[in-house]
A and B are shown apart, each in its own frame.
Chain A
Amino acid sequence: MSDTQWPRFEVFLQAAEGEPHQYVGSVHAPDAEMALLNARDVFVRRPHCVSLWVVPADHILAKTAQELAEKGWEEVETPTQTQTASYCVFQKREHRGTLIYVGIVNAQTPAQALRRAVELFTKHPSLVWWVFPVRLVTQSNIEERESLFEPALDKPYKQPTYYRTSAQIHQIKLTKRLPEESL
């Protein structure tokens, strides 16, 4: 991992009202606000989006089901404060799927939050669990939805083959004797 990289933020996208946020990837940015703007440009093109979250990667506690089964992961932390905080919980249920938001738990440490999440969200078996404090989520505002997300809907993605120019370019090369390196 290079030292010249900016901090990494994980990006979660909500495609429509009522649907849970899903993990779409990460961006590097100097701070949360820049991360949110960059996430919009990197991830909100073809999918629909009504809300974006970015979270500093360093503050996400991530465990696979296998790691959970091993002992010792819980004893790493000792609570330095007794205050309870809210944690977002994400699960990955299928190998080909992504992490999906399932809900909130309250806890004093990330490890405690994860333990509670595992006890609480039993409806589906999970391959991977992520938890992180709600206060570390930087989210897009509802008022910004129009300027952040609507413009992408007007910009349909086109494959390069959509532009049928090779016959024309070939013709130009023949008639105008342009240099052989392709345009």
Chain B
Amino acid sequence: MNSRVKKALIQTLLAMADDELILAHRDSEWTGHAPILEEDIAFANIAQDEMGHAIIWYSLYADLTGENPDSLVFFREAAAYRNIQLVELPKGDWAFSMLRQYLFDAAEMVRLEQLVQSQYPPLAHVAAKIRKEEMYHYRHTSTWIRRLGLGTEESHRRTQKALDTLWPYTFQLFTPLPNEPFLSEAGIVPESAQLHATWAKVVLPFLKGSGLIVPETCTPIIVQRDQHTEHLSSLLLEMQEVARSDPQAQW
């Protein structure tokens, strides 16, 4: 692997790991607070899966850079994180979290479907395993969105409001990292533009079928992943508090 491809791959792995980690944290905030007991268990399970995926991507990253994943997670500042803004937004109401998870799950599904054919064997191998869990996530959240969208006046109103808020952030899911062409030419990752189109073919009819209206005019958020909202630093403050209380501790 030449050094440009390797550098690009390292950046991509970190981005994927950070997305899963931050999303897992937001999902876990529902533990003990979900509207239904069964859903509390289900969503905690999904959060656990996402955390597992983060660990997998961090370990692939560590294989290439030698860095310690725990240091990356607990001692990086917000500016050094490379997740998209969609996942750092506060959890909101149940409709908001379900819809955010749905939009992310759909993107993961289309991405993983391509990654199982990656020319970088560790990626392909890992993608096959993760894909099983993502298929279940997609089934779970899509089942919810359909019911929320077509349910009562209140569930519909809250879900539509969530969609209006979230839709601009979905563009960043497919904003390519600066060196993506090196990776897609080498057959290591799929092209973002193509993923976006595939994702839209799944998501647009589904949202419409759930009685929801996708905003026609919006300002897409297509900034690079080093740009964050103010929400990330308060999230990290909480997540990193114990580790930072004694950086020398052995856990």
Q: CB of A138 within 8 A of chain B? A: no
Contact partner, B133, options A151, A168, A172, A178, Cβ 8 Å: A151
Q: What's the interface size class on B, roughly?
A: 20 to 34
Contact partner, A155, options B41, B48, B245, Cβ 8 Å: B48
Contact partner, A147, options B38, B39, B139, Cβ 8 Å: B139
Complex: chain A residue closest to B46, CB-CB: A41
Q: Mark A146-161, 1 if CB is under 8 A from B, else 0.
A: 1110110011000000
Contact partner, B136, options A30, A31, A34, A151, Cβ 8 Å: A151
Considering only residues 84-142 of chain B, those with a C-beta below 8 Å from chain A are 132-133, 135-136, 139-140
Q: CB of A33 within 8 A of chain B? A: yes
Interface of B is mostly: helix
B147 touches A172 (CB 8 A): no
Contact partner, B41, options A42, A150, A171, A172, Cβ 8 Å: A42
A178 touches B48 (CB 8 A): no
Name the B residues within 8 Å of A148 (CB-CB).
136
A41 with B45: in contact, given A148-B136, A151-B136, A168-B251 (CB under 8 Å)? yes
Considering only residues 80-107 of chain A, those with a C-beta below 8 Å from chain B are none
Name the A residues within 8 Å of B250 (CB-CB).
168
Cα of A35 to Cα of B249 in the assembled complex, Å: 44
B38 touches A41 (CB 8 A): yes
Cα of A37 to Cα of B143 in the assembled complex, Å: 9
Cα of A151 to Cα of B42 in the assembled complex, Å: 13
Q: CB of B36 within 8 A of chain A? A: yes
How many interface residues does A have (CB within 8 Å)?
28
Interface of A is mostly: helix
Smallest beta-carbon distance A122→chain B, Å: 38
Q: CB of B191 within 8 A of chain A? A: no
Q: Write 5 A-B pairs (CB below 8 A) sorted by A numbering.
A: A37-B140, A147-B135, A151-B132, A154-B52, A165-B251
Closest 5 CB pairs of A and B: A38-B38, A147-B135, A41-B42, A147-B136, A147-B132
B-contacting residues of A (Cβ < 8 Å)?
6, 27-31, 33-34, 37-38, 40-42, 146-148, 150-151, 154-155, 165, 168, 171-172, 175-176, 178, 183
A-contacting residues of B (Cβ < 8 Å)?
36-39, 41-42, 45, 48-49, 52, 132-133, 135-136, 139-140, 143, 147, 242, 245-246, 249-251
Q: Contacts A33-B143, A37-B140, A165-B251 known; list 10 others, CB within 8 Å.
A: A28-B36, A37-B42, A37-B139, A41-B41, A41-B45, A147-B139, A151-B49, A151-B136, A155-B52, A176-B246
